[in-house]
Amino acid sequence: MTELYHAIAIDNTHFFYLCPYDKKICPSLVHFHGSGLDSITNRIEGRSSHCCGDKGNNVEVIIDNHTLRKTLAIRGNSITFKKIRKKT
The contact set with Zn ion (CB under 5 A) reads: 19, 26, 28, 51, 53
The nearest distance, CB 21 to Zn ion, in angstroms, is 5
Which of 33, 69, 67 is CA-nearest to residue 48?
Answer: 33
30 or 68: whose CB is closer to Zn ion?
30
The nearest distance, CB 85 to Zn ion, in angstroms, is 26
Give Rg (Cα) of the chain.
13
The nearest distance, CB 50 to Zn ion, in angstroms, is 7
**Number of helices and strands (H, E) in the chain?**
0, 8
